[in-house]
Structure 1
Amino acid sequence: MVQASSQNPQVRRLIVSIHDVSPRHEGAIDRLQEQLERHGARTPAMLVVPNFWGEAPIVRGTPFATRLREWADRGIEMFLHGSEHRDTSRHDGWIKRLKANHMTAGEGEFLGLSGVEAATRIAMGRTLIEDIIGQPVAGFVAPAWLYGPGAIDALQSADIGIVEDHWRVWDAGSGRTLARSPVITWATRTPVRQKSSLAVAAIVRSIPGPRVMRLAVHPGDVGSDRVRRSISRTLDTLRRHRAISRYADLVDDTRSAA
């Protein structure tokens, strides 16, 4: 396995993350962590949802809040991942409706928000998570990687750090691209989507790919043996010639290259 090295824009990197970190998914998060650690990803980034679907609030002083702080103290990068992860916006235009209805199951929370509403949710979630973990969040990732214009404006004003979508990682304040990189992820919502994501993962394992690759897992992945095996195979394959890295390493790479 390639050894990680900061401030080296030539290093081929693999960044691993766990999405939808919430008290609602605590058991699944533990299983994902155990699986990733067995395959070399000991400190995957965590994308934290303050109140998943309005039904699982993270509360200061609770055992789950304590775990978040312990994970952050271990060096795990903590990202704010929306507010509720639920899309309640009314979308105008067929492109937005297509994204909202077909790219996710009603979870593109930040796709249709105004700049004011997006900024409010980001500020509230950021305050909660940073108060719990005792350090700044690493950045923000919108649920389902979907951003509307209001969300983009709010993120730039908030200067929250690192942001990503399906194809790119960038700095929220400056807009500077840190990496152009696809996300490898698995869909378990329907049999057709699952087969498609398994096929994509198999293809990715067989081609060189860009310098930076990202692998993202979700709590729903633990319910499928086929998906779990695919995650393990993909992680093992990609890490043979890549350093398992942090998002912060992308910032270092960009500074070094400049």
Structure 2
Amino acid sequence: MVVHDVTPVLARDVDAILDCCLPEVGEFLAGAAVPCWHGQTPGATDRQRFRRWLDQFGETLLHGWTHWREHRPGLISLLTNRADELAGLSTPDVAERIGRGLSLLQDITGAAVTGFVPPAWQLPSGLEALRQAGLEYSVGFTRLSSIHSADIPLATWSWDWGRIAFVSRLGASLGSAARLCNHRAVPVIVLHPADVGRGLLPAAVGVIRRLKSAGWQPTRIEHLLSNAGRKPTA
């Protein structure tokens, strides 16, 4: 399970997700952090909050530098309030922004970060930009991609589809559809702070419990990669 948009700007909702989901999945909850949300550099209090949160998550991922598209917006920008930070950029520009976010996040946490969640699911340059920036894998909507091993198919339940709140439940049904199409796809639950205000946390907990009843157990992303033949790095 992955929580996107982990940033002090959305502290109340991030705390609500942790309170709701930690009892369900414990240490197998991953946090996708945005260290400079919409260009706001975190101060001392924000850094402390980041560290407290990331102590609660079993894994920490980078979720962009600012999660904000600064250049000319496209269709996805309009639907997501310009959340597609990397869309339309060249590979060097993508790598630069990822590198800035990685440097800041690691400075805040004091720990190495190796995974990435593309903002608004958009990573135009693929793994090459990650490699240039010093990251090793990306958790996309349909696949877990690593520079060390073959892709792992994912079936993602995600309720936040930007400004159009009424499509939330329809979007979440894509996880069930992906499982029907590919029984090898690994279920992934994704929550966003926006889901809290929309009253969607109970729906997410329901999916978690149904998956557990079907025999699935929470696991770390690193464990999935190891089982796929990923070689450990120093």
**Does the pair score TM above 0.5?**
yes
> How many Å apart are 1:42 and its aligned residue?
4.3
> How many Å apart are 1:49 and its aligned residue?
0.7
Q: Is the 8 A contact 2:157 2:173 kept in 1?
A: no
> How many Å apart are 1:204 and its aligned residue?
7.5
> How many Å apart are 1:132 and its aligned residue?
1.8
Measure, in 1, the Cα distance between the counterparts of 2:220 and 2:154. Answer: 14
**Residue 156 of structure 2: aligned partner:** 183
Aligned with 1:79 (options 51, 56, 61):
61
Paired-residue identity, %: 24
Measure, in 2, the Cα distance between the counterparts of 1:145 and 1:24. Answer: 21
Measure, in 2, the Cα distance between the counterparts of 1:214 and 1:48. Answer: 17
1:107 aligns with 2:89: no
> How many Å apart are 1:185 and its aligned residue?
0.3
Aligned with 1:167 (options 142, 158, 161):
142
1:65 aligns with 2:41: no
Aligned with 1:140 (options 87, 100, 116):
116
**Residue 15 of structure 2: aligned partner:** 30
Measure, in 2, the Cα distance between the counterparts of 1:238 and 1:25. Answer: 28
> How many Å apart are 1:184 and its aligned residue?
0.9
* 1:57 match: secondary structure: coil
Measure, in 2, the Cα distance between the counterparts of 1:117 and 1:131. Answer: 21
**Residue 226 of structure 2: aligned partner:** 252
Measure, in 1, the Cα distance between the counterparts of 2:23 and 2:127. Answer: 37
1:242 aligns with 2:216: yes
> How many Å apart are 1:223 and its aligned residue?
0.7
- Matched to 1:220, the amino acid is A
* 1:38 match: secondary structure: helix
Q: Is the 8 A contact 2:155 2:185 kept in 1?
A: no
Per-residue displacement from partner, 1:21-75 (whole Å, max 9, x unpaired)? Answer: 1110111100001111232344411111122122x4323xx23322333444456
Q: Is the 8 A contact 2:155 2:179 kept in 1?
A: no
TM-score normalised by structure 1 residue count = 0.77
Structure 2: 5+ residue runs without aligned partners?
none
Measure, in 1, the Cα distance between the counterparts of 2:100 and 2:106. Answer: 10
Question: Number of paired residues?
Answer: 229
Structure 1: 5+ residue runs without aligned partners?
1-15, 92-96
Query: Greater relative contact order: 1 or 2 (C-alpha under 8 angstroms, separation 6 or more)?
Result: 1
Measure, in 1, the Cα distance between the counterparts of 2:7 and 2:71. Answer: 22
Measure, in 1, the Cα distance between the counterparts of 2:84 and 2:201. Answer: 25
Q: Is the 8 A contact 1:205 1:234 kept in 2?
A: no
**Residue 13 of structure 1: aligned partner:** none
CA spacing shift, 1:75–1:42, aligned 2, 3 Å: closer
Measure, in 2, the Cα distance between the counterparts of 1:114 and 1:249. Answer: 32
Q: Is the 8 A contact 2:33 2:60 kept in 1?
A: yes
RMSD of aligned residue pairs (Cα, Å): 2.8
CA spacing shift, 1:82–1:132, aligned 2, 3 Å: same
Larger Rg over CA atoms = 1
1:175-214 matched pairs, under 5 angstroms:
176-187=149-160, 189-197=163-171, 199-200=173-174, 209-214=183-188
* 2:152 match: secondary structure: strand
Q: Is the 8 A contact 1:178 1:250 kept in 2?
A: no
